[in-house]
C-alpha cells in the first residue's frame, strides 16, 4: 500500500496532461538534429519553411516506401514474408 502512494506510476493524475509517446519523442529528436542542426532558432518563418519543404517531402517519401514494402522490414513483417514465400513454394 505504501508503494502505491510512493510510486509515480500508480498516480495517474501526475501524467494527466502528458499526451506523448516514444515515436513522437524520437521524431522530435530527429527534427532537431537533422533539420535544425540543434541551433536555437527564434524565427517562425524559417521553421515553417523547413516543415513545409524538407519535412513534408521526407514524410511523403517514407510513407510511400513503407506502403510499397521497400527498405527495412520489421521482424514481424519479415516472418510473415517468409511464411508467404514458403506457402507459395508448396503450391
Residue 12's pLDDT is 56
**Locus of grid cell 510510486:** 7
Spatial separation of the C-alpha atoms in residues 33 and 39, rounded to whole Å: 9
pTM beyond 0.75: the answer is: no
Domain range list for the chain? 2-90
**Locus of grid cell 506523448:** 20
Q: Distances in Å between the alpha carbon of 84 and those of 70, 81, 87, 91?
A: 17, 5, 5, 11
Q: Residue 35's closest CA among 43, 24, 46, 44? A: 46
Per residue in 22-71, pLDDT (tens digit) is 667 877 888 888 888 877 766 888 888 888 888 888 878 877 887 777 77
Cβ-contact 8, 14 below 8 angstroms = yes
Amino acid at each position: 500500500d505504501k508503494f502505491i502512494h510512493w510510486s509515480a506510476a500508480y498516480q495517474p493524475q501526475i501524467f494527466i496532461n502528458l499526451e506523448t509517446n516514444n515515436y513522437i519523442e524520437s521524431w522530435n529528436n530527429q527534427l532537431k538534429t537533422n533539420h535544425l542542426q540543434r541551433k536555437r532558432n527564434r524565427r517562425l518563418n524559417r521553421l515553417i519553411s523547413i516543415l513545409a519543404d524538407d519535412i513534408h517531402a521526407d514524410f511523403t517519401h517514407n510513407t510511400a516506401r513503407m506502403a510499397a514494402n521497400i527498405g527495412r522490414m520489421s521482424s514481424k513483417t519479415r516472418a510473415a514474408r517468409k511464411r508467404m514465400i514458403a506457402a507459395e513454394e508448396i503450391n
